[in-house]
Amino acid sequence: MHDASRDYLQLFLHRLIIRSRFCDQEMQAILDLPTDAVKVAANQDFVCLGEVVDHACLIVEGIAGRFGQTEDGVRQITAFYFPGDMADLHSVVQPRVGSALQALTKTTILRISHSALRGVAARYPAVAEAFWRDCMVDAAVLSQWVVNVGRRDARAGMAHLLCEIATRLGLGTGSHAPDFAFSVTQAQLADATGLSTVHVNRTLKALAGIVTVARGSVQIHDWDRLAAVGEFEADYLQIDVVPAEPLKVIQPI
């Protein structure tokens, strides 16, 4: 394995230790995972519906999305994935693919075989638990999306989504959140929020002054107002909530 892969795995490790505590050995084991880098063009599926996979995909560059679809071809994005996210870690325990993964921009992924992941999980229960926990954060996000799409209007939903992404990207959520790169089209935002592209355009315009989404980057001018409009509470993302009393291994009573 060359250095690039190791740097990439560092991203993944970084993500995990936001919410779980590891000893040196465990961290080392994760950094030693064998990987297989793959470049994916924009708008190209890299995990297809119905397939049975034997590896999980770590996003290391670009943005990926999970897609649902109705019969008439209308699409719904159910998750965004950014560098450091393992987009389908759950496939380790559920290899049958239930929804496709697609690159939203030019993306680089690191394939990591299930057997290797099972290996570390078996040797280090703390890692197994971290994997499980990480999957559950994704589920918590999904749960918020249901609320977003089901009960918030376009403005609030879009604001909430942008807040979520900014927070997940680890940006300062103080009054002056910095700009960040987020290269998605309005059509993709529409698929994520359950709106039409036309209405996404109008909604973004309605948020002018609070946030600007243009040319692949997002500028949050007033975090507090954006969070207020989107009713955003970051708790569910479980950022930096490593349990005070170490809960780190699944061990006997």
Q: Which residues bind DNA (CB under 7 A)?
A: 43, 153-155, 185-187, 194-199, 201-205, 214-215
SS3 content of the chain, % helix, strand, coil (to 5): 40, 20, 35
Element (H, E) at 192: helix 186-193
Of 128 and 163, CB closest to DNA: 163
Q: What is the amino acid identity at position 237? A: L
Residue 215 CA to residue 212 CA, distance in Å, equals: 10
Q: Which two tokens stand for residue 82?
A: 């950014």
Q: What string marks each residue from 10 to 49 as x (binds its own copies by CB under 8 A) or -?
A: ----------------------------------------
Residue 200 CA to residue 188 CA, distance in Å, equals: 10
Residue 83 CA to residue 15 CA, distance in Å, equals: 9
Q: Does 249 bind its own copies (CB under 8 A)?
A: yes
For residues 76-135, which are near its own copies according to CB under 8 A?
76, 78-79, 90, 93-96, 98-99, 115-116, 118-119, 121-123, 125, 128-129, 131-133, 135
Name the DSSP class of 86. Answer: B
- Interface residues with its own copies (CB under 8 A) are 50, 66, 68-71, 74-76, 78-79, 90, 93-96, 98-99, 115-116, 118-119, 121-123, 125, 128-129, 131-133, 135-140, 142-147, 149-152, 156, 193-194, 231, 235-236, 238, 241, 243, 247, 249-253
